Amino acid sequence: MNIRKYFKYVASRPEFAALTIFIIIAITFYGINENFLNFRNLRVLFTISPEIALIAMGATILMVSGEFDLSVGSVFALSGVVMVVLTNEGVNAHLAFTISLLMCLAIGFINATITIRFGIPSFIATLGTMFMVRSIAIVIVKADFPTFPMEEMYWLRAIFANPIPGTIFRMSFIWFILITLLLIFYLHRSNYGNWSYSTGANQAAAQAMGVNTNNVKIRNFVLCSFLAGLAGIFMVLRTRAAFPSVGVGYELQAIAASVIGGASLFGGIGTVFGALVGAFLLKFLDNGLVMARLDVNWFRFAVGTLLIFAVISNTNLRRIANKMRE
């Protein structure tokens, strides 16, 4: 492969730029504090990063098809709350788990329906459901936080949350890898993926070629909501607590991770791998600041800087790659 071709390849794939920044960040924080990459902290990093990565991958797929979901942070909170509250009410834990995930699918479907049927921007539709879902999560738990049903959740924890002895990973990481592979198949290797891209890039063209763009969007809204709910359940099983206030701001972090990973706000551009790298980058940055004993409040500043930098560089890299005809 000649250099020119190689450069074009890299320039047209912004997830590589994100990966580079990710590696630089990891090395820098390691340089500041060796403990950043020790066994204990890696375990922390590989536990929290997949949760936001699941949300970010869903957000990216939805963005590729031209829509946004701002309700993911609220869904993240509600799924765990519903599962725990139902179990406390005497419902079988596995049934509660299933009901909770079905509810997430339903929320995704509602987001899609509001957006499509009434032809309003999904930004607004899901801003509405973001408030509504958060409100429901808070109302359900009432004033006091629900106790975590340790015994009933034994198997769910064993399947989804417990640490895998001798490794830095928890069970959730295996699920995360599995889901990532499925999402890569879905977005990059399947016809549904091709429909998602064409819907986001040019809805009229996709329709003219016989693609049912409404179905494409419904599917991706549902997928996005499902992933957010699953991430919420992973977190609750891991922390053994269901707080209705978790996940505030995750919707914007998910979008930030997507954009840093190369997704375009205008639809039709973005990759699952990019979202994954973007999400890991955010969590490594967050944790790295703590480990470096810097004021954590710089996290938002850093994210903001990265975001702006990413959008500018992605746009320019794309322009450069486009100019380089083979």
Partner 1 sequence: MSESIIRCEGLNKWYGSIQALKDVSIDIKKGEAVGLVGDNGAGKSTFIKILSGVHKADSGNIYFDGNKVKINNARDSMKLGIETIYQDSALAPTLSIARNLFVGREPLTFKIGSLGLLDREKMARESLEAIKRVELDLRSGDEVVENLSGGERQGVVIARALYFRTKVLIMDEPTNHLSVKETEKVLRWIEKLKAEGTTCIFITHNLHHVYPVSDRLVVFARGEKIADVQKKDTSIEDLTKMIVHD
Report the nearest approach of partner 1 to the CB of residue 203 (Å). Answer: 9
User: Burial of 189 by CB count in 10 Å (0-12 exposed, 13-18 middle, 19+ buried)?
Assistant: exposed
For residues 310 and 14, the answer to whether their CB atoms sit within 8 Å is yes
CB of 25 to partner 1, least distance (A): 28
Residue 112 or 171: the one with the smaller Cβ distance to partner 1 is: 112
Query: Alpha-carbon distance 73 to 78, whole Å?
Result: 9
**Closest CB to partner 1 among residues 142, 189:** 189
**Residue 61 to residues 29, 35, 64: CA-CA distances in angstroms?**
31, 35, 5
Q: What is the spatial distance between Cα 40 and Cα 177, in angstroms, rounded to a whole number? A: 21
213-239 and 93-117 helices, crossing angle to 10°: 150
Residue closer to partner 1 by CB (options 247, 268) is 268
Residue 170, φ and ψ in degrees, nearest 5 = -105, 170
Q: What string of DSSP letters covers 209-253?
A: TT--HHHHHHHHHHHHHHHHHHHHHHHHHHHT---TTTTTTHHHH
CB of 73 or CB of 193, closer to partner 1? 193
**Minimum distance of partner 1 from residue 211's CB (angstroms):** 5
Select 207 or 313, whichever has its Cβ closest to partner 1.
Answer: 207
In angstroms, rounded to a whole number, what is the distance separating the alpha carbons of residues 13 and 321?
A: 9
Residue 221's alpha-carbon distances to 11, 180, 226, 262, 303, in angstroms, are 30, 17, 9, 20, 25
Nearer to partner 1, 16 or 299 (CB): 16
Q: Which token pair is 114? A: 């509001």
Positions touching partner 1 (CB under 8 A) are 12, 185-186, 189-195, 197-198, 201-202, 204-212, 264, 268-269, 322-323, 325-326
Residue (16 or 169) nearer to partner 1, CB: 16
User: Which residue's structure tokens are 């999402």?
Assistant: 183
Nearest approach in angstroms of CB 194 to partner 1 is 6
CB of 228 to partner 1, least distance (A): 22
Q: Which is nearer to partner 1, 196 or 225 (CB)?
A: 196
Minimum CB–partner distance for residue 54 and partner 1 (Å): 20
> Which residue shows structure tokens 């009229």?
204
In DSSP terms, 163 is beta-bridged to 170
Q: How far is the CB of 61 from partner 1 (least distance, A)?
A: 14
Q: Please, what is the minimum distance in Å from the beta carbon of residue 195 to partner 1?
A: 7
